[in-house]
Structure 1
């Protein structure tokens, strides 16, 4: 398909974080962009401000007339839409050009020098750091991000078209549409078992992805993963390794050993060893691309983070409120490690909204173990996303497996009251569902009180 011949691009599920980055890209390239989403959000508001026509009721009559022209309209969809979506069925029945989000990314990036970030955790933060480093090095790039990067207040970094940075998403094997020049794999923990069935199939798909790298390309892998590549790790014997870690004024200061040299006294401001690992692999890929050490050091120090990735909402001497997208037990463990390292001895309240019935079912014991590490836990009902309820799979079931003394299941309507009743000085909201919509209410209420 020649994207240059397309005039209109219609998105089914335009409010998704990955979909909206593509929508911004097509707007920047002069296309007429429109779409449907289930509910209004900050993301859809920002797209409307760019001139994108968006509606929230699934009905063919709501599709703009220009996008009903089959000759020059491309329809992009997300696998998260329900099987019985009326508009999507209309486009299928009438033989429109329809592509998945991942296929579009494959098309856009195939003629660029592509840097791809794969892994079950860390993709968004790593690709955001990498995009920022390359931007600071004045590389002519387009970066498609799975989160809102604080430095740009966007999920798209546009500085040219010769180089692309993308998240290589393992969900429904999307990353097999990419052919990167440089790629990394940050982690391969079991996830998306509703798609893969078991962990061995997930590992196989990562091995298939590793074979997608272009001739003379390079693959970086976190030390210990069962795939061959250039290794990276923290305080170990990897090809790229973080050494001599110190915490100064809430920031990491450290050295990086590369195959050729040692970079001294780098600074990075995001807490948590997982973020230090993300910063390391972004640095390694940017070095292999050809960026200068001095520019990379400045870029690392100036990276502000990604919204909903250990994002400080309130930070005072007597009260801290952090919001994080963590929705897998390993991600919750990473959040716990970070908060304990930054605030030793402080009482921590975690508010968690499980994401997907299938994920809760598959990892219930691991979730219980991760959540039990916090001093106090408030548990919300499971956010279903694309799924129907499963018998017996509930937040009450998860709660019963947790060993905390101080735990309870609550409704979102009681959230502010329950936080107020707690004597914790560190409060976390965790989860990938609509818990993100509660952040502003919590921030507004407790900013006034602290």
Structure 2
């Protein structure tokens, strides 16, 4: 999906279809801040749309060709269907239609771009990089696929020439960027509805690494087999500088993770302790990646380590929703077996000997079909695992593919309806336990309800 980048000043008046989405609103927010006339619409009236309207964007609720107004460029994401009336009108009217990633690429032009890619951990790592650089005084522009409490928003126009962005591989659109520094947290088979085969996923990351210029650098996680293999393939070409981070003694940025309160990174003979506010080995690795980015951009190691202490998490990434009866309730966006394992590992460390109960909602019929066994295995790490019906998102049902493909494999759980879920979780959790709602769909709404049922 590679493309030439249209300079921001050539786009004219820009209309966003689906402007309420976290990724779309990020691009719109930056364009508004840079003086671009912006309009947008979405099916629902979401809080971020009110923020954009207050900043000067023209916002409509519901899709209608009339919403285009006098727009000269239209931005739409992969989730927008081809028969959307605004998209149909834009194409028939000969307007320039950009993918969300192409709109984001236009806002990056002229910047030193840091992109963060990987099958898991993109939002958290991008958030860590943005918080670290901002605390270190570099004031980057950033666009992240999640709201970040420490930043107050998911996107902003900064005063420096640094731009930090999450690079989404799900539809191949991460090939539309021109990075100077690229982080790859991990590479696994996912999004097979788009790629078809695991080999096609791996090939797309090779193409992503190849986007780096001669003075660029690939930062890859040595603890992940897929990312390490990518690093080795890229280094063999001898056209791109490659650095690794992780717990391996051979890693260029070495991570020591002794558990909560005992995390440090080593570069050469120097070791720097990190004051991390977020639990889990995966977050320690994400922090090592952010630390490595900061060093590449000239931040002193001690300053980088101190700045990471200001990161308190990203929305829906092991986010505390509240507590009641001594039970803490978290929410996590995990929607791949590896992510579910990481979320439950973090929950287990926080529970400190007490039980962990998970309410899981599979995301997409195709992903459930491909990974049902792996999801069941990952959910086996919980003391209780309750499974909701599949959240279809952009997909139509696939015959024979239901959540039972997962729940029937569980010895520690069962399939539940939405009506049963809250009461079932409140009934099983005891003082000191951790409850975590997991998935990329509307399962996030159950956390507050569980807190309320617990009397929180």
By the TM > 0.5 criterion, same fold? yes
Asked if the contact 2:324–2:452 (Cα under 8 Å) also holds between the matched residues in 1, the reply is no
Counterpart of 2:57 in structure 1 is 52
Asked if the contact 2:348–2:355 (Cα under 8 Å) also holds between the matched residues in 1, the reply is no
* 2:343 equivalent to 1:335: yes
* 2:229 equivalent to 1:226: yes
Between 1:313-322 and 1:132-141, the stretch displaced more is 313-322
Q: 1:42 to 1:431 in 2, by over 3 A?
A: farther
Counterpart of 1:304 in structure 2 is 312
What is the deviation of 1:176?
0.8
Counterpart of 1:319 in structure 2 is 327
Counterpart of 1:153 in structure 2 is 152
Between 1:383-392 and 1:49-58, the stretch displaced more is 49-58
Counterpart of 2:36 in structure 1 is 31
Counterpart of 1:188 in structure 2 is 187
Matches of 2:372 and 2:290, distance apart in 1 = 32
Aligned pairs, number: 435
Counterpart of 1:241 in structure 2 is 254
Q: 1:418 to 1:401 in 2, by over 3 A?
A: same
Counterpart of 2:136 in structure 1 is 137
Give SS of 1:367's match: helix
Matches of 1:232 and 1:408, distance apart in 2 = 39
User: How big is the alpha-carbon RMSD for the aligned residues of Structure 1 and Structure 2?
Assistant: 1.9
* 2:189 equivalent to 1:172: no
What is the deviation of 1:445?
4.2
Between 1:262-271 and 1:179-188, the stretch displaced more is 262-271
Asked if the contact 2:324–2:451 (Cα under 8 Å) also holds between the matched residues in 1, the reply is no
Counterpart of 2:408 in structure 1 is 400
Normalised by the length of structure 2, the TM-score is 0.91
* 2:394 equivalent to 1:386: yes
Counterpart of 1:358 in structure 2 is 366
Matches of 1:409 and 1:334, distance apart in 2 = 22
Counterpart of 2:45 in structure 1 is 40
Q: 1:423 aligns with which of 423, 429, 438?
A: 429
Deviations 1:303-331 (A, max 9, x none): 11101101112257821111101010000
Give SS of 2:39's match: strand
Give SS of 1:43's match: helix
* 2:266 equivalent to 1:257: yes
Between 1:27-36 and 1:124-133, the stretch displaced more is 27-36
Give SS of 1:432's match: coil
Matches of 1:443 and 1:159, distance apart in 2 = 37
Between 1:231-240 and 1:131-140, the stretch displaced more is 231-240
Q: Which runs of no fewer than 5 residues in structure 1 stay unpaired? A: none
What is the deviation of 1:373?
1.9
Matches of 1:210 and 1:235, distance apart in 2 = 22
Matches of 1:317 and 1:57, distance apart in 2 = 42
Matches of 2:264 and 2:338, distance apart in 1 = 26
Matches of 1:235 and 1:426, distance apart in 2 = 31
Asked if the contact 1:176–1:209 (Cα under 8 Å) also holds between the matched residues in 2, the reply is yes
Counterpart of 1:3 in structure 2 is 8
What is the deviation of 1:367?
0.8
